[in-house]
Amino acid sequence: MNFKAVTLGVALASFMLSGCSSITMLRTKEMKAVGDEIMVKNDSAYKALSAENDSLKAQLDSVKAQLDAAAVAQKRLQAEVTLLTNRMSEESVRRDTRQEEIIYRLDLLLGKSDKILAKKVVVSGGSASAVMESDADAAKMVEAETMFNAAHSDYHRGEYKLAYNGFKQVYELVKKGEMAEGALYWMSLCLIEANQAAKAKTLLTNLVDSNPQGMKACAGMFKLASIYGKECDLERQKHYLQKIISSNTCVSTPELEQAALQLQAMLDFRSTDGRSAEQVCREQMR
């Protein structure tokens, strides 16, 4: 009886343990299934959020690109406005200068015309023709002075070719005298600005040689010295500087003082490595 009871108890305990084990396995499967479902849902949510994030990033990149393009367009517009403003300002200055020049020429012409008309013509022998010739010369000088002023204005506006042609017309009209010298001198300056130093040297040499006591002789010699200095032909530069200093015509002129300073600097030149001034000059030109 006791044996049967023990056997029955063992059997019952085994059954209960087996049942508990099955329940535990079932619960484990259920929990695993729930966990897998949660993981699937989380993965789907992550993918959805990632896709939404990518979409937002693309939109932000597009907006940034639009803003960058707008900024570039704004800068370009500002540059164009600035350029247009500068052009309008330059045109206004040019127009005002031109108006002042026209007024000046009119005043000049009217003044000269009054002087010409005020002259009395005395008709006796050859006096009439002499006075008429004098009037013609005065009219020619008025025309030459007008063209000279126009060419001078063109030079200062940077219109060197136009200025050169104007000064050339003045020279061909008057041929000699102070205005002719001035025209030749300014023609050479136009050539220098146009990078035609060789032609400028020819003009200046002719001016200096043909008019050693002329109004533009000192300025012409100093300009020749400057050209030869830039070309590193220091002997010719020194030659013209010495001519300025030794010329009585250049006494009390700005060119005399400048020539003396430049010549003194050339005489005082000493290189640290024994090179000549001309060698140093040519190396600096490279």
How does pLDDT run across 201-218, given as a tens digit for each residue?
999 999 999 988 999 999
Q: 285 and 249 in one domain? A: yes
203 closest CA partner among 177, 171, 229 = 171
pLDDT band at 102 (very low <50, low <70, confident <90, very high): low
Q: 202 and 157 in one domain? A: no
Q: 286 and 220 in one domain? A: yes
Query: What does the DSSP 8-state code read for residue 216?
Result: T
- Could you tell me how many residues make up the chain? 286
Instruction: Please check whether residue 222 is in contact with residue 190, taking contact to mean a CB–CB distance below 8 angstroms.
Output: no
Q: How far is CA 197 from the centre of its chain?
A: 23
Q: 185 and 207 in one domain? A: no
Task: Identify whether 122 is part of a domain.
Answer: no
pLDDT tens string 70-100: 777 777 666 666 655 555 555 554 555 555 5
pTM of the model: 0.54
Number of domains in the chain: 2
Task: Identify whether 55 is part of a domain.
Answer: no
Using alpha carbons only, give the angle 201, 207, 212 rounded to the nearest 5 degrees: 125
Question: Last residue of some domain: 148, 164, 195?
Answer: 195
